[in-house]
């Protein structure tokens, strides 16, 4: 009887091996060969699941996005108010190795989104999902009195996600920015400003 | 007597032709051939100044950064207070075709900054410059009473530039975000929040 292979599981394992390499060595080190060695398979097995290096990186991005979305949903179930809003925003900041890989692989595909409409749609889909989770958390925080109810939740979510993603992206290029993000939470500082109504 | 060619001027003209194509058609349309046609030179002339398409795109990025830096300095000479701070931040948002080209070409090289340390240094250098101009404007706005003097100018500049760059980047992937940026200034809204001291 042939061995039953759980292909979805194996794809996930390969994608996770890729992400751990991206976290340690960056995109540059994430080759088919390196991923094969890390996952404990031959390069032939990797090529069975991913047609080339770009496809493998895309697989890594989808896996990172999947894990990120699961965690954002968990935040929604376990936290409330301003705390939940901050956690949703910090979920995609490179504050640990998992999120470092996520940031690196997303920024890598930001460039491709500029030339490939399919990648653009995919990236935009993840950003929309992040904004949606932020908006849900923001509305809940408004309802429980943590956030100024005069704020437009849609526009404010666009802005908060842009702030978080901009910080995450710039931290990849500058170790000082990364260090500052890790020692003091900019997201918390800015969310704190939303509890007060600015005078026009 | 041989014709004297102003090589620096011709390089700038070629880079400007590239940027106008990037603004109209995106990075994808910016080929050596298209730039040659736009600039009114043969592809051989373009190849004399730029060794390949990537080198041409790098030239375009440097030219966009040069023009951007000049404009930021002009803002510093002609505006004051909160208005100057807002203008420095909006200088790199894709609110017109010049800044659209700048945003597109920067995001394109963000990916390369992840794999090429020289590009990373260059991108980080531009971001540092943008933060420096922001910090100068922020300190001046604090001095004239427009901005809360309790804010740390360095950290706040990192955050404001991340917000502006994140918004600009996301606007490239989503026309709705771009439209919202063009009709209402998020930068102004967020700078406005810095005039008030949040309660911890």
Structure tokens at A157: 């979510």
Encode chain B (200 residues) as per-residue pLDDT tens digits.
667 888 899 999 999 999 999 999 888 889 999 999 999 999 999 999 999 999 999 999 999 999 988 998 899 889 999 999 999 999 889 999 999 999 999 999 988 888 888 899 999 999 999 999 999 999 999 999 999 999 999 999 999 999 999 999 999 999 999 998 888 888 888 998 888 655 44
Nearest to B111 among A108, A124, A127 (CB): A108
Distance from CA of A84 to the nearest CA of B (A): 18
CB contact under 8 A, A173 and B123: yes
Sign for the pseudo-dihedral over CA of A180, A182, A186, A189: negative
User: Which residues does chain A have within 8 Å of residue B184's beta carbon, measured at their own beta carbons?
Assistant: 155
Query: Could you tell me if A130 and A72 are in contact, meaning their C-beta atoms sit under 8 angstroms apart?
Result: yes
pLDDT score, position A196: 63
Query: Could you tell me if A181 and A133 are in contact, meaning their C-beta atoms sit under 8 angstroms apart?
Result: no
A126 closest CA partner among A65, A184, A173: A65
Structure tokens at B82: 């909160």
pLDDT score, position B22: 92
CB contact under 8 A, B159 and A169: no
Sign for the pseudo-dihedral over CA of B134, B135, B141, B145: positive
What stretches in chain A show pLDDT beneath 70?
1-2, 196-200
CB contact under 8 A, B104 and A123: no
CB contact under 8 A, A180 and B155: yes
Query: Tell me, what DSSP letter sits at residue B5?
Result: P
Tell me the percentage of chain A whose pLDDT exceeds 70: 96
CB contact under 8 A, B107 and A104: no
Tell me how many residue pairs between chain A and chain B have CB atoms under 8 A apart.
Answer: 144
Query: Count H helices, E strands: chain B?
Result: 10, 0
DSSP readout, B141-191?
Answer: HHHTTSS-TTS-HHHHHHHHHHHHHHHHHHHHH-HHHHHHHHHS-HHHHHH
Terminal C-alpha separation, chain A: 74
Query: Could you tell me if A139 and A84 are in contact, meaning their C-beta atoms sit under 8 angstroms apart?
Result: no
**What HEC string does B36-81 produce?**
HHHHCCCHHHHHHHCCCHHHHHHHHHHHHHHHHHHHHHHHHHHCCH
Query: Tell me, what DSSP letter sits at residue A190?
Result: H
pLDDT score, position B63: 94
pLDDT score, position A73: 87
Q: Which of A166, A177, A187 to mutate to test the interface with B (most CBs of B within 10 A)?
A: A166
Q: Which of A103, A126, A162 to mutate to test the interface with B (most CBs of B within 10 A)?
A: A162
Nearest to A196 among B159, B189, B199 (CB): B199
Nearest to A115 among B27, B128, B167 (CB): B27
A56 closest CA partner among A5, A19, A88, A93: A19
- Reported ipTM: the value is 0.91
Estimate to the nearest angstrom the gap between the alpha carbon of B166 and the chain centroid.
Answer: 12
Query: Could you tell me if A12 and A59 are in contact, meaning their C-beta atoms sit under 8 angstroms apart?
Result: no
User: Which residues does chain B have within 8 Å of residue A194's beta carbon, measured at their own beta carbons?
Assistant: 193
CB contact under 8 A, A108 and B108: no
Q: Which residues contact A110 (CB under 8 A, 6 or more apart)?
A: A123, B107, B110, B111, B169, B173
Half-sphere exposure of B58 (CA within 13 A, CB side): 16
Sign for the pseudo-dihedral over CA of A171, B97, B10, B51: positive
User: Which residues does chain A have within 8 Å of residue B123's beta carbon, measured at their own beta carbons?
Assistant: 173
Radius of gyration (Cα) for chain B, nearest Å? Answer: 19
Interface of B with A in 46-65 (CB under 8 A): none
Instruction: Supply angle C-alpha A174, A178, A181, rounded to 5.
Output: 140
pLDDT score, position A183: 87
User: Which residues does chain A have within 8 Å of residue B177's beta carbon, measured at their own beta carbons?
Assistant: 158
What crossing angle do the helices spanning B175-183 and B153-173 adopt, rounded to 10°? Answer: 130
Q: Cα(B130)–Cα(B71) distance, rounded to whole angstroms?
A: 11
Nearest to B173 among A107, A124, A177 (CB): A124
Distance from CA of A109 to the nearest CA of B (A): 7
Full-model pTM: 0.91
User: Which residues does chain B have within 8 Å of residue A161's beta carbon, measured at their own beta carbons?
Assistant: 166, 170
User: Which residues does chain A have within 8 Å of residue B169's beta carbon, measured at their own beta carbons?
Assistant: 110, 162, 165-166, 169
Nearest to B167 among A162, A184, A200 (CB): A162
**Unique residue bearing structure tokens 């500052």:** A180
DSSP readout, A134-162?
Answer: HHHHHHHHHHTTSS-TTS-HHHHHHHHHH
Query: Could you tell me if B53 and B34 are in contact, meaning their C-beta atoms sit under 8 angstroms apart?
Result: no
């Amino acid at each position: 009887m042939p061995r039953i292979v759980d292909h979805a599981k194996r794809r996930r394992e390969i994608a996770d091996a890729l992400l751990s390499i991206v976290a340690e060595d960056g995109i540059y080190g994430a080759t088919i060969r390196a991923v094969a060695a890390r996952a404990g398979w031959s390069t032939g097995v990797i090529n069975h699941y991913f047609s080339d290096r770009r496809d493998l990186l895309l697989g890594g991005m989808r896996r990172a996005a999947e894990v990120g979305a699961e965690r954002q949903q968990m935040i929604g179930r376990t936290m409330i108010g301003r705390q939940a809003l901050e956690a949703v925003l910090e979920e995609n900041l490179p504050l640990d190795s998992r999120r470092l890989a996520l940031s690196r692989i997303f920024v890598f595909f930001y460039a491709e989104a500029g030339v490939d409409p399919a990648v653009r749609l995919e990236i935009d889909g993840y950003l929309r999902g992040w904004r949606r989770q932020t908006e849900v958390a923001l509305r809940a925080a408004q309802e429980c009195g943590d956030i100024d109810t005069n704020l437009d939740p849609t526009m404010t979510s666009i802005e908060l996600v842009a702030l978080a993603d901009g910080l995450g992206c710039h931290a990849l290029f500058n170790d000082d920015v990364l260090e500052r993000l890790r020692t003091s939470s900019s997201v918390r500082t800015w969310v704190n400003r939303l509890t007060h109504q600015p005078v026009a």
